[in-house]
Chain A
Amino acid sequence: MKKFINDPADVVAQSLRGLAAAHPELRVEVEEGYIVRAGAPQPGKVALVSGGGSGHEPLHGGFVGPGMLDAACPGEVFTSPVPDQILAATKAADGGAGVVHIVKNYTGDVMNFQLAGELAGEEGISVETVLVDDDVAVEDSTWTAGRRGTGATLLVEKITGARAEEGGKLGEVAALGREVNAASGSFAYALTAVTTPAAGRPGFDLPADEIEAGVGIHGEPGRRREKWRPAKELVRSALDAILTAKSFSGPVIVLVNGLGATPLIELYLIYGEVAAHLEERGVTIARQLVGNYVTSLDMAGMSVTLCQATDEMIRLWDAPVRTPGLRWGA
Chain B
Amino acid sequence: MGRAGAYPRIALGCLSMDAALARDWMRAAAEAIAAGADGLTRLDSAIGDGDHGVNLHRGFTAVVAALEKSPPETVSEVLVKSGATLMSRVGGASGPLYGSALRAAGKALPATPEVQPADLVTALRAGLAAVRKLGGAAAGDKTLIDAYGPAVDAFEEAVAGGADLAGAAGAAARAAQAGAEATVPLQARKGRASYLGERSIGHQDPGAASTSLIFGALAEVA
Contacts and interface: CB of A to CB of B under 8 A. Distances in A.
A84 B97 CA distance: 15
Interface stretch (B7-15, B86-94, B105-113): B86-94
Given A107-B190, A111-B135, A223-B195, A80 B47 contact: no
B55 interface: yes
A80 to B, nearest CB: 5
A108 interface: yes
Given A218-B192, A221-B199, A196 B92 contact: no
A22 interface: no
Contacts of A148: 195
A82 to B, nearest CB: 5
Interface in A208-243: 216, 218-221, 223-224
Nearest to A137: B195
A75 B88 CA distance: 11
Contacts of B91: 53, 75-76, 79-82, 108, 112
Contact-residue bracket for chain B: 35 or more
Contacts of A81: 91
A330 interface: no
B50 A196 contact: yes
B104 to A, nearest CB: 13
A196 B51 CA distance: 8
A78 B51 contact: yes
A84 B45 CA distance: 27
Given A108-B95, A198-B54, A220-B195, A144 B189 contact: yes
B83 interface: no
A222 to B, nearest CB: 8
A78 B49 contact: yes
B47 A220 contact: yes
A223 B90 contact: no
Contact of A199 (B41, B134, B194, B199): B41
A313 B192 CA distance: 31
A220 B48 contact: yes
B89 to A, nearest CB: 7
A138 interface: yes
A310 B45 CA distance: 41
A155 interface: no
Nearest to A83: B87
A143 B198 CA distance: 11
B49 A223 contact: no
A111 B190 CA distance: 13
Interface in B149-203: 187-197, 199
Contact of A145 (B58, B87, B190): B190
Interface in B74-105: 87-97
B79 to A, nearest CB: 18
B93 A220 contact: no
Nearest to A223: B197
Contacts of A198: 41, 50-51, 54
8 contacts: A76-B58, A78-B51, A79-B55, A82-B88, A111-B96, A112-B92, A218-B48, A224-B199
Interface of A: 53, 75-84, 106-108, 111-112, 115, 137-138, 140, 143-145, 148, 194, 196, 198-199, 203-204, 216, 218-221, 223-224
Nearest 3 CB-CB pairings of A with B: A144-B194, A108-B92, A108-B93
